[in-house]
Amino acid sequence: MGEFIDPAIVPKMKVNTGEEIPGIGMGTFGSDRVSPEEVSNAVAGAIRCGYRMFDCAACYGNEDQIGKVFKDAFDEGVVERKELYIMTKVWNDMHRKVEESCRKSIADLQCDYIDMFFIHWPFPNYHAPGCDVDSRNPDSKPFSVEEFMDTYRQCESLVEKGLIRHIGISNMTIPKLEAVLPLMKIKPVACEIELHPCMQQKELFDYLVAHDIQVVGYMPLGSPQRPERDIMPEDVADMELPEMKEIAAAHNCHPALICLKWSHQLGAIPIPFSVREKNYVSNLKSMTEDPLTDEEMAKIATLERNNRLVKGHVFLWPGAKDWHDLWDEDGKIVTVEE
């Protein structure tokens, strides 16, 4: 076993229920490149080195394998269920059957209940795992408040039934949040957004903070191994930027750790993915030592390029203009093209 970082010294974030939850989690999306076994082996190692939060999803196709790892850790007394904060997500093809999806994730993950249950995307638009960028589902529809709230109500009933503790939302925009937040009976605890130095989403970030919704930052390292469908020639590699390398050199570490410190110091919970013990240990450890200076934070703020990596082409509905339609960039919800 590698180095153990005492979870007691890993920063926590106080959420709107008053509870403190881990300030960093491990991502578990193999990006269509890394097998379920490699991911679950990394989860096994990560628990033993001190990770206490895991970001899972039904559509990552590996909950079954990760569940075996959780069960072994519980059986071997490595960790108790209540010490872990397990997150998962309902996939877009299960918006009408949220409880079934949740029960399957609980069974696969062998974890009795889910700590944070996300609505992965605010659309019921399904794409097959591993599909390419041109793949479209003719049944795809634009965002609908009614459809989303029906899905959200099902999540609220899962809280009431004790199957989940907290509700999360993901891939939302301010116009969509404005439309649905007033309709919710149980407030979402967190929102998962893409967050790395070249995609800072400051307006959305500030909106979530103002509404006391915890930001969980996905792709915190700029996801260098992301699926082929999410790689465009114009994308910028965050960790390759000279400014990031320079700050990393000053801290004598890899730029990955600078990305994580930045995300944490902004107030987000980063959820980096790695299958290499050396990397996932140093990612966790980076939260406990050697913070960035105000000057370094200010320097990274200048690296914003609005470089969205998960553009979401595969969720587009017939008649949609292009992927920008998913993100309501003109400040109103894009439904059908006029």
Active-site annotation, residues: 60
Residue 11 in tokens:
């920063």
Task: Provide the minimum distance between the beta carbon of 198 and ligand NAP in the complex, in angstroms, as a whole number.
Answer: 11
Binding region for ligand NAP (CB under 6 A) out of 9-17, 74-82, 155-163, 274-282:
274-282
**Residue 67 lies near ligand NAP (rule: CB under 6 A):** no
Task: Provide the minimum distance between the beta carbon of 30 and ligand NAP in the complex, in angstroms, as a whole number.
Answer: 8
CB of 124 or CB of 222, closer to ligand NAP: 222
Binding region for ligand NAP (CB under 6 A) out of 108-116, 138-146, 159-167, 213-221:
213-221
**Residue 88 lies near ligand NAP (rule: CB under 6 A):** no
**Residue 272 lies near ligand NAP (rule: CB under 6 A):** yes
**Residue 200 lies near ligand NAP (rule: CB under 6 A):** no
**Residue 224 lies near ligand NAP (rule: CB under 6 A):** yes
Task: Provide the minimum distance between the beta carbon of 258 and ligand NAP in the complex, in angstroms, as a whole number.
Answer: 10
Which of 262, 252, 249 shows the shortest CA–CA distance to 303? 262
- The Cα 136–Cα 125 span in angstroms is 9
Residue 120 marked in a binding site: yes
Per CB under 6 A, the list member of 256, 269, 284, 320 interacting with ligand NAP is 256
**Residue 106 lies near ligand NAP (rule: CB under 6 A):** no
- Point out which residues bind ligand NAP (CB under 6 A): 27-29, 31, 55, 120, 170-171, 192, 218-226, 254, 256, 271-276, 279, 282-283, 310
Q: Which residues are annotated as part of the binding site?
A: 120
